[in-house]
Amino acid sequence: MQQRVCIVGVGLSDGPVTPELNGVMLEAQAFRRALDDAGLEKDDVSGLASAGYGGMHEVALAEYLGLTPRWLESSSVGGSSFEFHAMHAYRAIQNGDVDTVAIVYGNNQLSASGRTLGTGGGGGGGRGGMALPLPMAYEFPTGLTLVGAYAMAAQRHMYEYGTKPEQLASIAVQTREHAGRNPRAMYRDPITVDDVMSSKLVADPLHKLDCCVISDGGCCVIVTTEERARDLPHRPVYVRGAAGGTTHHSIAAMTDMTRTAAAVSGPRAFAEAGITPTDVDVFAMYDSFTYTVLVVLEDLGFAAKGEGGAFVTDNGGNLRLGGALPTNTDGGGLSGTHPGMRGLFLLCEATRQLRGDAGDSQVAGAEIAVAHGSGGWLSTQGTVVLGTEGA
Amino acid sequence: MPDRAMPDWSDVPKWLLPRPTLEDREFWEGAGRGELRIQHCSSCGRYQHYARLLCSHCGKQTLAWVTASGEGTVYSFTVIRQNGVPPFDERVPFVVATVDLDEDGARLIAAMPALDPGEARIGMRVRAAFRRAGDEFGFVDFVAAG
Ligand SMILES: [Zn+2]
């Protein structure tokens, strides 16, 4: 019989600016805090997942932490890697291959590299004489930037569906409201749609305030069996469904720039969990850019295709606390924390909400949460449905 | 549609020069002599860019190089207004477009250095324009057609 699987511990490192801590120190700090949160010690951990550095990072991290895990996972699919890690850990625990997995990520991207607004290189390309992997070799000499890749997708959505830049801007405004409630968020002062629209255009139609921040930070999420979870201090949060997928690597190969692999991963994960979009109480969404949120809201079925713009602004703002779908209640990547990749932080915030531990940003009575990661250039999508025991 | 005064993109820094691989030398050399070289699949009849061993549409290994018409339609575009990497930092603002070639199934990302950013439109007809990249190779830009 398959085991039910629970998140039992979450930990955040110091942040969002930590010049005194490097990436692996941030990972270790988050790991220690997640152990404390879960009421576990390191030798209780038999599986480790991480991504974001070079090959064998999770092995190096295991050594650094003094772990000898028998289950390792390093799916490296961009910012959604950690939704894939959670999905794979969920399956492995269900099947009894491993019982307690720590998923860990940390990066001091801000302190190490500074903020380039995704304009430091081509759509994922590099410079300085290294051979570029196809197809980036074609994109980089055009002057395309990472922001530009997302901008082209947003532009196509505006063309096909009449989506307005002001609707994209509203996503940033509502997310900033949540950041104002989170002392750990990078930017907390309220902003207006006009503020977003009058911030510098980086790549049409995306303005500076349509783009996520760059911060430092680390996070750890610990997943285990329901049986073990029963003995641990927190109310367990159940993994109810998970799915992922990819449609392309480079933006040129995104055949339909208004539809992502979330249109496949979402329905699969929701079906496994036995839920529909209207059952979701809180949404943790990888907001690399405002458009990322808009297109995935549609792909997951929270809004019909083409109606994402209206959805985010209806009802005084449906992403707000009190709206139809409170989204990125910790201030997201747009205003809160974004240390290179954000996927793991989504699982952390969703868990805090379902435990009732989300402080001033708590969604009252939240029972079902969705964490959804988007990686690359809308390339990879991973959906994880979480629920309380009774949900 | 008026093109703006052609900004000078002719100076290609050494690190930006193509480094052809076994698969794509034909593309870069073709661009160097003013031809847009793509692959045609005799199994499914569709085209692809960039070069691969297998057809990305049908999976068959039945590809041959052909010279594209160079005509296409803008699927989407952006105006790059910030790019921290020289020489692009001095070229902003400029248009980068995703172009669907008239050859079904082939799409590429290209700069449109000569196009006034205010004139860029999805659906506009465009044609390839070639720019030297060293002695042997070229880049494929696009300009407004007609
Ligand atoms: Zn074919």
User: DSSP secondary structure string, A260-302?
Assistant: -THHHHHHHHHHHHT--GGG--EEEE--SBHHHHHHHHHHTTS
Under DSSP, is residue A139 helix (H, G, I), strand (E, B) or coil?
helix
Distance CA A222, CA A241 (A): 17
- Average pLDDT value for residue range A274-279: 98
Q: How confident is the model at residue A125 (pLDDT cuts 50, 70, 90)?
A: very low
- For position B11, what pLDDT does the model report? 87
- For position A155, what pLDDT does the model report? 98
Q: Do the domain assignments include residue A12? A: yes
- For position A128, what pLDDT does the model report? 35
Q: How confident is the model at residue A117 (pLDDT cuts 50, 70, 90)?
A: low
The string of pLDDT tens digits covering residues A322-360 is 999 999 999 999 999 999 999 999 999 999 999 999 999
pLDDT at A124 over 50: no
Distance CA A119, CA A143 (A): 9
Under DSSP, is residue B141 helix (H, G, I), strand (E, B) or coil?
strand
Distance CA A83, CA A339 (A): 16
CA atoms within 13 A on the CB side of A149: 29
B125 to chain A, any CB pair closer than 8 A? The answer is no
Q: Do the domain assignments include residue A156? A: no
Q: Any bridge partners for residue A28, and if so which?
A: none
Q: How confident is the model at residue A131 (pLDDT cuts 50, 70, 90)?
A: very low
- Average pLDDT value for residue range A228-251: 97
CA A280 to each of CA A150, A167, A245, A260, A267: distance values in angstroms, whole numbers, following the listed order: 27, 22, 21, 20, 13
pLDDT at A287 over 60: yes
> Which residues lie below 8 Å from residue A333, measured CB to CB, with a gap of 6+?
A212, A213, A286, A287, A288, A342, A345
Q: What is the DSSP letter of A334?
A: I
What share of chain A has pLDDT > 90, as a percent? 91
- For position A52, what pLDDT does the model report? 86
Q: Let me know if B129 is exposed, middle or buried by CB neighbors in 10 A (0-12, 13-18, 19+).
A: buried
What mean pLDDT value characterizes chain A? Answer: 94
Distance CA A361, CA A331 (A): 9
User: Which residue of A135, A138, A155 is in closest CB contact with B78?
Assistant: A155
CA A328 and chain centroid, separation: 9
pLDDT at A129 over 90: no
- For position A391, what pLDDT does the model report? 78
Q: What is the DSSP letter of A9?
A: E
Domain coverage including residue A68: 5-111+213-386
User: Which residue of B18, B76, B80 is in closest CB contact with A257?
Assistant: B76
> Which residues lie below 8 Å from residue A124, measured CB to CB, with a gap of 6+?
A136, A139, A146, A149, A250, A376, A377
The count of domains in chain A is: 1
- Average pLDDT value for residue range B72-94: 95
Q: Any bridge partners for residue A211, and if so which?
A: A289
Q: Measured between CA atoms, how close is A252 to chain B, in angstroms?
A: 6
- Contact A82/A344 with Cβ under 8 angstroms? yes
Nearest one of A57, A55, A12 to A36, comparing CA atoms: A12
- Contact A123/A138 with Cβ under 8 angstroms? no
- pTM for this model (two decimals): 0.95
Residue of B13 and B6 predicted with greater confidence: B13
The string of pLDDT tens digits covering residues A39-63 is 999 999 999 999 988 889 999 999 9
- For position B3, what pLDDT does the model report? 54
Q: Which residues of A188-227 are buried (b: 16+ CB within 10 A; e: fewer)?
A: beebebebbbebebbbbbbbebbbbbbbbbbbbbbbbbbe
Q: Do the domain assignments include residue A143? A: no
Q: Do A143 and B79 touch (CB under 8 A)?
A: no
- For position A130, what pLDDT does the model report? 40
CA B11 to each of CA B15, B16, B96, B121: distance values in angstroms, whole numbers, following the listed order: 12, 10, 18, 27
* ipTM computed for the complex: 0.95
Give distance in angstroms: CA of A249 to centre of ligand 1: 20
The string of pLDDT tens digits covering residues A143-170 is 999 999 999 999 999 999 999 999 999 9
Mutate to test the interface with B, among A140, A150, A152 (most CBs of B within 10 A): A152
For residue A328, give the CATH number of its domain. 3.40.47.10
B112 to chain A, any CB pair closer than 8 A? The answer is no
The string of pLDDT tens digits covering residues A166-215 is 999 999 999 999 999 999 999 999 999 999 999 999 999 999 999 999 99
Residue of A nearest to B83 (CA): A119
- For position A12, what pLDDT does the model report? 98
- For position A390, what pLDDT does the model report? 84
Q: What is the DSSP letter of A315?
A: G
- For position B145, what pLDDT does the model report? 97
A114 to chain B, any CB pair closer than 8 A? The answer is no
What share of chain A has pLDDT > 70, as a percent? 95
Give distance in angstroms: CA of B61 to centre of ligand 1: 8
What share of chain B has pLDDT > 70, as a percent? 95
pLDDT at A136 over 90: no
- For position A389, what pLDDT does the model report? 93
- Contact A280/A134 with Cβ under 8 angstroms? no
The string of pLDDT tens digits covering residues B106-145 is 999 999 999 999 999 999 999 999 999 999 999 999 999 9
- Average pLDDT value for residue range A3-10: 96
Q: What is the DSSP letter of A329?
A: T
Q: Do B19 and A131 touch (CB under 8 A)?
A: yes
- Average pLDDT value for residue range A28-38: 98
Give distance in angstroms: CA of A311 to centre of ligand 1: 40
A151 to chain B, any CB pair closer than 8 A? The answer is yes
Token code pair at residue A79? 């910012």
Give distance in angstroms: CA of B48 to centre of ligand 1: 9
- For position A308, what pLDDT does the model report? 98
Q: Do the domain assignments include residue A381? A: yes
Q: Do the domain assignments include residue A371? A: yes
**Chain A neighbors of B91, CB-CB under 8 A:** 143
